[in-house]
Amino acid sequence: MDQEYFDKLAQTVIDGDSEECVRLVKDGIQQRMNPLDAIEKGLARGIMKVGDDFGAGVVFLPELIMAADVMKKGTELLDEQIASSGLKREALGKMVIGTVKGDIHDIGKSVVASVLQANGYDVVDIGIDVEIEAFIKAVKENNADCLGMSTLLTLPLQVMGEVIDKMKEEGLRDRVKVIVGGCPVTEEFASEIGADAVGFDAADAVKKVGVLLGN
Ligand code: B12
């Protein structure tokens, strides 16, 4: 697909036009475009523009919510596409992933979950606003090799460190790797809280989890 297509896709998010977004995405799927390109070169650019305008006070929360709904409709279709493109093979490892307590952003976390799944990992997505105890429970119940935590907000950042501390208390930290992500998360912060890695986008997440789990 060409730049004009990705620009149009970004514009549907900016305009809050879910009908046009779904139409364009279905069209792209039919033409066998790379679904991750549609997310990163198209939809994500649109939501980032609305997010920047929101930050600058040019657009307001209802418009941001509308844009996010459009983005979510598009990514849901593309996630299905990403998942079904994954080769059926023995899982490379078991991941639990979620957005930490205090944060309801789920688009980026879900994209990362789908892309990891498509790349051969068995991924359990435990959703948004996840309590510390719920992370621990999910890691234990699923016998996970790796935990992924996401936040886009500054305040809940500290929760990531609290989950890692709790993992240590429960004796889980030696065998379970931890990767963190989301726009406020830096390499420096990740090492401060004792995480093993930070992923800056879905492709980076696949690369880093691969290194952590020795794949
Ligand atoms: C869409 C959006 C929303 C939507 C969310 C819809 C949804 N279902 O998720 C809605 C409108 C609901 C929303 C609400 C709020 N939002 Co908001 N939102 C955004 C926005 C514009 C885009 C986020 C997004 O989806 N990006 C696209 C995806 C694909 O990218 P991503 O999330 O960054 O994820 C990628 C990477 O970060 C990474 N990644 C992410 N997670 C993980 C996890 C792991 C393990 C790994 C390895 C990698 C990884 O890989 C992903 C794929 O590439 C951002 C702007 C921004 N700059 O991020 C603001 C933004 C995050 N929101 C912001 C705010 C303030 C809020 C609200 C508090 C607003 C309010 N006053 O109520 C509420 C949050 C309430 C709460 N308790 O959570 C601020 C945060 C400021 C801060 N530093 O704390 C931002 C930065 C906007 C701004 N400029 O002010 N928001």
100 and 61 in a common domain: no
Position 215 scores a pLDDT of 86
Contact 194, 172 (CB under 8 A): no
Q: How many whole angstroms separate alpha carbon 164 and alpha carbon 121? A: 22
pTM to 2 decimals?
Answer: 0.88
Who has greater pLDDT, 140 or 201?
140
Who has greater pLDDT, 111 or 43?
43
Return the closest-CA partner of residue 205 out of 176, 167, 173, 177. 177
115 and 44 in a common domain: no
Q: What is the CATH number of the domain that holds 50?
A: 1.10.1240.10
> Residue 124 has what DSSP assignment?
E
Position 116 scores a pLDDT of 86
Return the closest-CA partner of residue 173 out of 206, 189, 198, 196. 196
Mean pLDDT of 163-192: 97
Give the pLDDT confidence of 57-90 residue by residue, as tens digits.
999 989 988 998 899 899 889 888 887 776 555 6
Cα(209) to ligand 1 centroid in Å equals: 22
Q: Answer with the one of 51, 85, 119 that is the final residue of a domain.
A: 85
State phi, psi for 122 to the nearest 5 degrees. Answer: -90, 110
Contact 117, 131 (CB under 8 A): no
Structural domains counted in the chain:
2
In percent, the amount of the chain with pLDDT more than 70 equals 98
Position 88 scores a pLDDT of 52
Cα(105) to ligand 1 centroid in Å equals: 5
Position 68 scores a pLDDT of 86
In percent, the amount of the chain with pLDDT more than 90 equals 71
CA-nearest residue for atom 11, ligand 1, is 65
Quote the mean pLDDT of the chain.
Answer: 92
Who has greater pLDDT, 55 or 189?
189
Position 213 scores a pLDDT of 97
Position 31 scores a pLDDT of 93
Position 5 scores a pLDDT of 96
The reply to whether ligand 1 has any atom less than 6 angstroms from the CB of 146 is no
Q: Evaluate if residue 210 carries a pLDDT over 60.
A: yes
Cα(88) to ligand 1 centroid in Å equals: 32
Helix (H, G, I), strand (E, B) or coil at 152: coil
67 and 104 in a common domain: no
119 and 77 in a common domain: no
Position 89 scores a pLDDT of 55
Domain span at residue 125 reads 94-212
- Helix ranges, 86-212 (H): 107-118, 132-142, 157-169, 187-193, 202-212
100 and 36 in a common domain: no
64 and 105 in a common domain: no
75 and 11 in a common domain: yes
Position 63 scores a pLDDT of 92
CA-nearest residue for atom 82, ligand 1, is 153
118 and 99 in a common domain: yes
> Residue 106 has what DSSP assignment?
-
> Residue 119 has what DSSP assignment?
T
Q: Answer with the one of 34, 56, 85 that is the final residue of a domain.
A: 85
169 and 77 in a common domain: no
Q: How many whole angstroms separate alpha carbon 109 and alpha carbon 199? A: 11
Contact 45, 79 (CB under 8 A): no
Could you identify the atom of ligand 1 that is nearest to the CA of residue 208? 47
Could you identify the atom of ligand 1 that is nearest to the CA of residue 104? 78
23 and 126 in a common domain: no
Q: Answer with the one of 39, 57, 85 that is the final residue of a domain.
A: 85
The reply to whether ligand 1 has any atom less than 6 angstroms from the CB of 176 is no
Q: What is the CATH number of the domain that holds 157?
A: 3.40.50.280
Position 90 scores a pLDDT of 64
115 and 195 in a common domain: yes
Give the pLDDT confidence of 126-160 residue by residue, as tens digits.
999 999 999 999 999 999 999 999 999 999 999 99
101 and 14 in a common domain: no
Other CB atoms within 10 A of residue 59 CB: 18
CA-nearest residue for atom 7, ligand 1, is 105
